[in-house]
Amino acid sequence: MPGSAAISCLGPWPKDVGIIAMELYFPAQYVDQAELEQFDGVPSGKYTVGLGQARMGFCSDCEDINSLCLTVVQRLMERNSLSYDSVGRLEVGTETIIDKSKSVKTVIMQLFEDSGNTDVEGIDTTNACYGGTAALFNAVNWVESSSWDGRYALVVAGDIAVYATGSARPTGGAGAVAMLVGPNAPLAFERGLRGTHMQHAYDFYKPDLVSEYPVVDGKLSIECYLSALDRCYSVYRNKIHAQWQREGSERRFSLEDFGFLVFHSPYCKLVQKSLARLMLNDFLSHPNPNTETGPYTGLDAFRDVQPEETYFDRDVEKAFMKASADLFERKTKASLLISNQNGNMYTPSVYGCLASLIAQHTPSQIAGQRIGVFSYGSGFAATLYSLRVTQDHTPGSGLDKLVSSLSDLKVRLDSRKKVSPAVFSENMKLREETHHLASYVPRGSVEDLFPGTWYLTRVDDKHRREYARRPQDHDLPAEPQLVRSSTATEHIPSPAKKMPRIPAATACPEAAVSN
């Protein structure tokens, strides 16, 4: 792995800290959005064209946030041949809360028991869909700090997005992403290039602690998202301009300076509108745009519009979506595979988009590119930052391994089981009725899960949750290993078995100083 290579001891921080490996999990069943339109009695195209959604993954009652995160972490560790004692920080970003005190991270720690590694920092981070990004920033900051001990950081973003019956329900979904963070990464964070905007608003929130369903102000939510995008892009541009000026360059930053752009995706059509929104920002900030030829042709009538007055201006939206159509095809469309086929995953959403982008390009096509990433969480918190893809795309390189590991996304999506809207609706009703029950045994079929998936086996009378893992296809039939989200007093874990240490980087105290 790239992070296990020797790092430079000459600088004040490890070099090229970022994402080394990624793993993505989504449910093994989905509902077709066109069929859901018919079932809900809405006009044809409302979900498929208006929202840009084709399929929506969902979980039965035998999956919860703990099982999703257990699955994606174990899959990442196994597929990358990592030992659990090579991880020194584990942080979870989620808004799917099933316990107001006990973190999902502590549940995942059961995977670490056989390694004997309990020296793992980090807990859960929560703020709507932004929690995964906050957890990722914390992991990067840890690697670049005096606290770093040379091991990897592991970031997990996971959620089950469900809505009450109504217009918001087709914007649901479910899934989890795990990201391995360390130095010498094929996707490195560009230092100092983050634009953040945080503000108070009740656009989407979950005040009912016994329900999975949020309270949503749809119009306000869109306004908050787009206003945050405006502010973050402005701050990001100012920071990169300042960097360029220090280097002696006076050139202006524009969308063309991003090789690719990925966005938090509640639904695909909003992402397309968001790219158009950034083009509007470029147009309004340009001192003398050419409206006779080129991408701004025919846009002169919009020269004096005020951005804050255009969130729902159909003329502006239509004009800039048309003007940015080529940009969208080249820089963003490929990122919407998971969003279109699985739906909104909340915290993993933007990272599902990043994985989709990587999965549909060759290493040589993305090598050296700058990837812009916009993350948004209601309430609200947002950041636009950038990743720089390594230039090394040779066979066996870190980038080659990352692309290869994600290349099966389309096959995995196509291997899922389609269920009828009626069955989907029944599952949602069952989840609603059993969400926080004690003494409950799930009714969902384990055979419908992907091989290797963790699932909920029971909730006892003290709300303690127990899990098992469906065997891999190549595993011999065996009694599944059981784990609990809270170690009961009568449960004595097996003696820890030490595994050989695989450090994330060669020890280098000089490189781990605080910046």
Give the SS3 label for residue 511. helix
- Residue 350 C-beta-side C-alpha neighbours within 13 Å: 26
Instruction: Compare 515 and 311 and report the one with higher pLDDT.
Output: 311
120-178: pLDDT as tens digits: 999 999 999 999 999 999 999 999 999 999 999 999 999 999 999 998 999 999 999 99
Tell me, what DSSP letter sits at residue 256?
A: G
460-486: pLDDT as tens digits: 999 999 999 999 875 544 444 444 443
CATH number for the domain that contains residue 449: 3.40.47.10
For range 413-442, the mean pLDDT: 95
Q: Which letter, b or e, does each residue of 9-44 get, where b requires 16 or more Cβ atoms within 10 Å of its Cβ?
A: eeeebbebbbbbbbbbbbbbbbbbbbbbbeebeeee
C-alpha–C-alpha distance, residues 460 and 179, integer Å: 32
59 catalytic residue (yes or no): no
How much is the pLDDT for 1? 63
Sheet strands (E) in 199-250:
204-205, 215-216
232-283: pLDDT as tens digits: 999 999 999 999 999 999 899 999 999 999 999 999 999 999 999 999 999 9
Sheet strands (E) in 70-163:
87-93, 124-125, 152-161
Q: Is the pLDDT of residue 513 over 60?
A: no
C-alpha–C-alpha distance, residues 139 and 181, integer Å: 7
How much is the pLDDT for 475? 53
Q: Please answer whether residues 59 and 375 qualify as being in contact, where contact means their C-beta atoms are separated by less than 8 angstroms.
A: no
Q: How many domains does the chain have?
A: 1
For range 493-511, the mean pLDDT: 31
DSSP β-ladder status, 454-459 and 465-469: antiparallel
Is 301 exposed, middle or buried (CB count within 10 Å of its CB: 0-12, 13-18, 19+)? Answer: exposed
301 found inside a domain: yes
How much is the pLDDT for 512? 30
129 catalytic residue (yes or no): yes
382 found inside a domain: yes
C-alpha–C-alpha distance, residues 122 and 107, integer Å: 13
Q: Which residue has the tokens 């929130």?
A: 205
475 found inside a domain: no
Structure tokens, 117: 């590694």
How much is the pLDDT for 13? 75
pTM: 0.90
CA-based nearest residue to 64, from 427, 418, 431: 431
Structure tokens, 103: 């973190």
How much is the pLDDT for 153? 98
Q: Which letter, b or e, does each residue of 281-295 get, where b requires 16 or more Cβ atoms within 10 Å of its Cβ?
A: bbbbeeeebebeeeb
349 found inside a domain: yes
Q: Is 221 annotated as a binding residue?
A: yes
Q: Which one from 129, 224, 232, 353 is the annotated catalytic residue?
A: 129
Q: Is 269 annotated as a binding residue?
A: yes
Q: Which one from 23, 144, 264, 353 is the annotated catalytic residue?
A: 264
264 catalytic residue (yes or no): yes
List all residues 6 or more positions away from 70 whose beta carbon is below 8 Å from its beta carbon: 107, 108, 110, 111, 454, 467, 469, 483
- Residue 82 C-beta-side C-alpha neighbours within 13 Å: 30
Q: Whole domain around residue 87: which residue ranges?
A: 18-470
Is 433 exposed, middle or buried (CB count within 10 Å of its CB: 0-12, 13-18, 19+)? Answer: exposed
Q: Please answer whether residues 21 and 404 qualify as being in contact, where contact means their C-beta atoms are separated by less than 8 angstroms.
A: no
* Cα-only R_g, the chain: 23
403 found inside a domain: yes
404 found inside a domain: yes
Q: Is 410 annotated as a binding residue?
A: no
C-alpha–C-alpha distance, residues 43 and 284, integer Å: 36
C-alpha–C-alpha distance, residues 483 and 87, integer Å: 20
C-alpha–C-alpha distance, residues 29 and 203, integer Å: 30
List all residues 6 or more positions away from 303 whose beta carbon is below 8 Å from its beta carbon: 283, 284, 289, 291
510 found inside a domain: no
Structure tokens, 414: 């196509």
C-alpha–C-alpha distance, residues 317 and 280, integer Å: 9
Q: Please answer whether residues 316 and 302 qualify as being in contact, where contact means their C-beta atoms are separated by less than 8 angstroms.
A: yes
281 found inside a domain: yes
Q: Which one from 37, 95, 212, 317 is the annotated catalytic residue?
A: 95
Q: How far is CA 295 from CA 233, 301, 304, in A?
A: 19, 14, 18
Q: Which residue has the tokens 């900051």?
A: 141
Reported confidence tier of residue 5, pLDDT bands at 50, 70, 90: very low
Kindly list the strands in the beta sheet with 55-57, ordered across the sheet, starting from the edge strand earlier in the chain.
Answer: 55-57, 29-32, 417-419
295-344: pLDDT as tens digits: 999 999 999 999 999 999 999 999 999 999 999 999 999 999 999 999 99
In sequence order, what DSSP letters do the residues of 320-366 get, joined into one string? HHHHTHHHHHHHTGGGGHHHHHH---STTHHHHHHHHHHHTS-HHHH
